Structure 1
Amino acid sequence: MTTVRPYGGVSAEDRAALRRDKLLSAGLAVFGSSGYRSATVRQICRTAGVADRYFYEHFTGMEDLLVAVYGMCLDRLETAVVAAISASDQIATMARQGLEGLVGVTGDDPRLARVVWFEVLGVSRRVEDTYLHRMERFADILLASAPELDDTAAELRASIASAAVGGISHVLMTWVASGCVRPRSQIVAALEIFLISVVDGVRADR
């Protein structure tokens, strides 16, 4: 077996990981500016500063890269929300802080916003399934932070959470499409009222 020696003190595994990170960053830059559908492997590699042959070390094609970039973007959003809501156990405070984290990351990075809310639309069944899976994860986060829903039937809880996540996503999509012209505080306030009204509606229905 041939042993690949470190180059410049960096192992082959670390160099490969660095190239993958560069390709992901390039994917975000390209998909988030000129779009996924017009992007090419050569453009991605040129933006990343890596040779074309390294692309296929990590991705089977452009759609595979899109799924990975989308996952990276959703990880950032998810991390921001979880970090924000962990600072409180009061539903109103958690809602506001979680939304501030979500809106903050969305507004701070137009490239991420374009990938998350536009570039993944209508690509393929695989991308759609990835989108649905990630939305379910956000619904799970919402359920975990809303003990008021614990006594609700499981299927109803899941539907309520999915509806809430869908509503939030649509508001953010229209905000991004407008160029984020409305102040972030207005978006957060509107979504906070929406979330609290959902929880209050469940309480009143008991």
Structure 2
Amino acid sequence: MSAAYTLFAHPGFHATTIERLCSTARISNRAFYECFSSREDLMRAVYERCVDETLDAVNGAIDSAPPTLDDRIVAGIGEYVRFVTKDVRRARIMHLEVRRAGDVLSGARQNAVSAFTKIIESSVQELPNTLPIDLHLLALGLIGAITELLIEWVLADPAPPIDELIDASVHIFRRTFAT
């Protein structure tokens, strides 16, 4: 898993062969296949671990925040961006390589998006039901915005400062849910 975490982040999923994974991990191909059915299966496991760890961090931050919507927005988004960018490998796997892998991870990616959508939806439940658009669709759009900001962080040289990513994301959420 450790070798895959590093190699899937760079040089990337498509450039990482099973032979390279096994060589880096110092295991035999046979040992690999005793644990995983394919390179795709390993990528899914690495991606899902990244998502699960991130969900735990974000939920913990939201649960520890004061109960106002603004405090939950600041805590949840701040933790998401800080946690994902703490390790560029995590950011690359969650926001770049998951897309590059294509159909291989589409189900896992949809599950992750659904989990983060539920966090947003549950965080804004106390709002009056006067939103001009379906909350689920709005949450998906917000996730897309943060995803694009993190892709920019991964690919840009120089990368935008983390605080600016957080500020932009918080601004988008605040403007979206201003009542």
TM-score by length of 1: 0.78
Distance across 1 between alignment mates of 2:126 and 2:156: 34
> Counterpart in 2 of 1:108?
86
Quick check: which has more Rg, 1 or 2? Answer: 1
Bigger mean CA deviation after superposition, 160-169 or 144-153: 144-153
Quote the offset at 1:152 in angstroms: 5.9
- One of 23, 26, 34 as aligned partner of 1:46: 23
Residues 179 and 86 of structure 1, relative CA distance in 2, 3 Å threshold = farther
Quote the offset at 1:106 in angstroms: 2.2
Identity score, percent: 27
> What are the within-5 Å matches in structure 2 for residues 1-206 of structure 1?
24-88=1-65, 89-149=67-127, 151=129, 156-179=134-157, 181-200=159-178, 203=179
Bigger mean CA deviation after superposition, 108-117 or 118-127: 118-127
Distance across 1 between alignment mates of 2:18 and 2:128: 47
Residues 57 and 100 of structure 1, relative CA distance in 2, 3 Å threshold = same
Secondary structure of 1:37 counterpart: coil
Say whether the 8 Å CA contact 1:122–1:128 is kept in structure 2. Answer: no
TM-score by length of 2: 0.89
User: Per-residue displacement from partner, 1:152-189 (whole Å, max 9, x unpaired)?
Assistant: 69x81211111111111111111221156222111111
Distance across 1 between alignment mates of 2:43 and 2:26: 18
Say whether the 8 Å CA contact 1:149–1:157 is kept in structure 2. Answer: no
Quote the offset at 1:41 in angstroms: 1.4
Aligned positions, number: 177
Say whether the 8 Å CA contact 1:143–1:149 is kept in structure 2. Answer: no
Secondary structure of 1:34 counterpart: helix
Distance across 1 between alignment mates of 2:23 and 2:128: 51
Quote the offset at 1:27 in angstroms: 0.7
Unmatched runs of 5 consecutive residues or more in structure 1: 1-23
User: Per-residue displacement from partner, 1:71-123 (whole Å, max 9, x unpaired)?
Assistant: 11111221221111111211111111112211112222111111111112243
Higher relative contact order, structure no. (Cα contacts within 8 Å, ≥ 6 residues apart): 2
Distance across 1 between alignment mates of 2:40 and 2:28: 19
Unmatched runs of 5 consecutive residues or more in structure 2: none
Residues 122 and 36 of structure 1, relative CA distance in 2, 3 Å threshold = closer
Quote the offset at 1:62 in angstroms: 0.8
Distance across 2 between alignment mates of 1:123 and 1:175: 19
Deviating runs (4+, > 6 A) in structure 1? none
Say whether the 8 Å CA contact 2:13–2:101 is kept in structure 1. Answer: no
Distance across 2 between alignment mates of 1:180 and 1:165: 23
Distance across 2 between alignment mates of 1:109 and 1:159: 29
Bigger mean CA deviation after superposition, 176-185 or 158-167: 176-185
Bigger mean CA deviation after superposition, 42-51 or 156-165: 42-51
